[in-house]
A and B are shown apart, each in its own frame.
Chain A
Amino acid sequence: MTYIGIIITFVLIENFILTQFLGLCPFIGVSRKMDSAVGMGFAVIFVMSLASLITWAIYNLILIPLNIRFLQTITFILVIAALVQLVEMVIQKISTPLYKALGIYLPLITTNCAVLGIALIAVRREYNALESFIAGFAAGGGFLLAIVLMAALRERFETEWIPKPFRGVAIAFVTAGLMALAFMAFDKALLKNLVG
């Protein structure tokens, strides 16, 4: 599969949020404001691309030669946790407002199944190092796309009249469901048409 194929796959066809339903916690939690949504999106891109690259290295250079592939989940989580800590420190240093806006959801990327998901998927599909990195970057980009679309919609909700029982998270989940339906239009046939 070409690199463009990988990008289209993870941004549109297998969008982590809207097709695979991974990483919904920050998707709902941080999408209330556009600023923090964009910040979260880029933090996830950073973590995902680095995580998939490092997990590829660990898997192929340590786990396979030593024949201890069964340790992949625990080592991947270790890598992701350390990376998220790093991202947290960097964000706190360079932008305190963004750090405050992301709040609890930033350390929660650690347990974000989307990050572990991309690491495991990249390994299972036997991507090489560059392909893994691009897959991680594209999956993060898919997350950014979904969360930015959601934030744009939710900022509109603030000014709209919504029936009381639907206000807040309820309408957000209904909207996410409708967006997921729309994303079903991107399928494998589309990929074939685009990249052959």
Chain B
Amino acid sequence: MNLYRILYAFLSVSGLGILFGVGLAVVSRVLAVKKDELVEKLEEALPGLNCGACGHAGCSSYAEAIAVSSRSEEAEEVPLTLCLPGGAEAASALAEIMGVEVDYTESRKVAQVHCRGTRDVSRQAFRYTGVADCNALFALFGGDKICPYGCLGLGSCIRVCPVDAIDCDEQGGVWVDRDTCIGCGKCIDVCPTGVMKLLPYDADYLVACNSKDKGPVVRKYCSVGCIGCKICEKKTPEAGFVVGEFLSHIDYEAAGDRAEQREKAAQSCPTKCIVRNAKPRSGEELIPAAVSADKKEKEESDSKQQNT
């Protein structure tokens, strides 16, 4: 009797399974939806990161928008150059499929943290032990740092980055690897202080500070903040430094022999907040002259030796 029950159980469930399986297979044949070949081709030409930088929900919806706009006259024209991660390569691939020429002049932009005020050089108002999320920390008096503009260092941008381009050290120094960054801007949206900003991919230097406070105020809470002294603007006028709201920033479009001038500016900056836009642990010295701790220097010289 018990054996029969086992048999019945087996037969009924497998019978139902086969019945539903065959039924679904038949129905799927009947209701098959034809896929658009053009859309599929376009989708293949896109990187498939679904980052949303083009303003569409994902790569497939961007491909579909292009296809739709090419077929009907009424639909709004969709440019082929919207894909930031794909850049010129994706734009030309899309153009080839669509049979048109594109002029891709837009330079590649990457995100970077405009702050080097890690917890050892920037003063804190209180100790935060809550959830490790920048927006949660920002909700408490605008963060634990006295500086209201700086990087909070809890890595919300790291978690939101689709390509893992952002890194963080123990002191809370967050850094974007410009070769990995695709410029989708997700980190900029999530950052509560606005310290994450876009700059051109080939930017050699950046002013790593976001503080719009006056010099003496900045000096009180951070030793690597921009104090708006205008030394960079006056000493090296060709480097493209512009100081406004007590904060220096670089006009990357400015002409002139920039590399040398900017290196000079970086060396003459009293708080050393003009830094090279390179990964800090790549063995290169980020700041031309040593900043503060001997440890950092030693580490860097060690890695230099390994490189050579």
How many positions in chain B have a CB within 8 Å of any CB in the partner chain?
A: 17
The answer to the question of B28 belonging to the interface, with a C-beta cut-off of 8 Å to chain A, is yes
CA distance A89 to B33 in the complex (A): 9
B residues less than 8 Å from A74 (CB atoms): 13
Contact (Cβ within 8 A) A164 B16: no
CA distance A58 to B17 in the complex (A): 13
- Which residues of B (97-146) have their CB < 8 Å from a CB of A? 135-136, 139
Chain B residue with the shortest CB-CB distance to A96:
B33
CA distance A93 to B12 in the complex (A): 31
* In the complex, number of A-B residue pairs with CB atoms less than 8 Å apart: 48
Chain B interface mostly helix, strand, loop or mixed? helix
CA distance A136 to B13 in the complex (A): 23
Contact (Cβ within 8 A) A68 B12: yes
The answer to the question of A67 belonging to the interface, with a C-beta cut-off of 8 Å to chain B, is yes
B residues less than 8 Å from A20 (CB atoms): none
Segment of A21-29, A43-51, A78-86, A153-161 engaged in the interface with chain B: A78-86
A residues less than 8 Å from B17 (CB atoms): 78
The answer to the question of A98 belonging to the interface, with a C-beta cut-off of 8 Å to chain B, is no
The answer to the question of A4 belonging to the interface, with a C-beta cut-off of 8 Å to chain B, is no
B residues less than 8 Å from A68 (CB atoms): 5, 8-9, 12
Contact (Cβ within 8 A) B31 A164: no
Contact (Cβ within 8 A) B24 A67: no
A residues less than 8 Å from B23 (CB atoms): 82
- Whole-angstrom distance from the CB of B31 to the nearest CB of chain A? 4
CA distance A165 to B27 in the complex (A): 46
- What are 25 A-B pairs at a CB distance below 8 A? A62-B16, A66-B5, A66-B8, A66-B9, A68-B12, A71-B9, A71-B12, A71-B13, A74-B13, A75-B12, A75-B13, A78-B13, A78-B16, A79-B16, A81-B20, A82-B20, A89-B27, A89-B28, A89-B31, A90-B31, A93-B33, A96-B33, A164-B139, A165-B136, A165-B139
